[in-house]
Amino acid sequence: AQKVTQAQTEISVVEKEDVTLDCVYETRDTTYYLFWYKQPPSGELVFLIRRNSFDEQNEISGRYSWNFQKSTSSFNFTITASQVVDSAVYFCALRFNDYKLSFGAGTTVTVRA
């Protein structure tokens, strides 16, 4: 069975602080895809990043970076120098040898000015 766990329910920071969101997943497959989505109050899920299980290279994209560690089944996501517009619910999701996305419960991020 595939499962995604986001242990952090809520995170509150002051603007310009860094925010790291934790994601731990369970899967017995060797090939899978991991995603992070952002859901602002408007409700639309916005795609942020995707990572393939066979590529553990960690990257930085603007203020976003991620740390994928297959050995610990973790796919953490960091927002550097947070801004008020980053306030949203962030979801980690997993997809493997089928078509559906399995989402975690989400982490609510509040960035205060």
Partner 1 sequence: DAGVTQSPTHLIKTRGQQVTLRCSPKSGHDTVSWYQQALGQGPQFIFQYYEEEERQRGNFPDRFSGHQFPNYSSELNVNALWLGDSALYLCASSTGTSWASTDTQYFGPGTRLTVL
Q: How far is the CB of 76 from partner 1 (least distance, A)?
A: 17
- Decide whether 19 or 36 has the Cβ nearer to partner 1: 36
CB 73 within 8 A of CB 2: no
Residues 53 and 33: their CA atoms lie apart, in Å, by 6
One residue of 91, 94, 109, 111 binding partner 1 per CB under 8 A: 91
State yes or no: residue 50 binds partner 1 (CB under 8 A): yes
State yes or no: residue 84 binds partner 1 (CB under 8 A): no
State yes or no: residue 12 binds partner 1 (CB under 8 A): no
Query: Could you tell me which stretch among 17-25, 67-75, 77-85, 89-97 binds partner 1 (CB under 8 A)?
Result: 89-97
Burial pattern 5-25, b for ≥16 Cβ within 10 A else e, equals ebebeebebeeeeebebbbbb
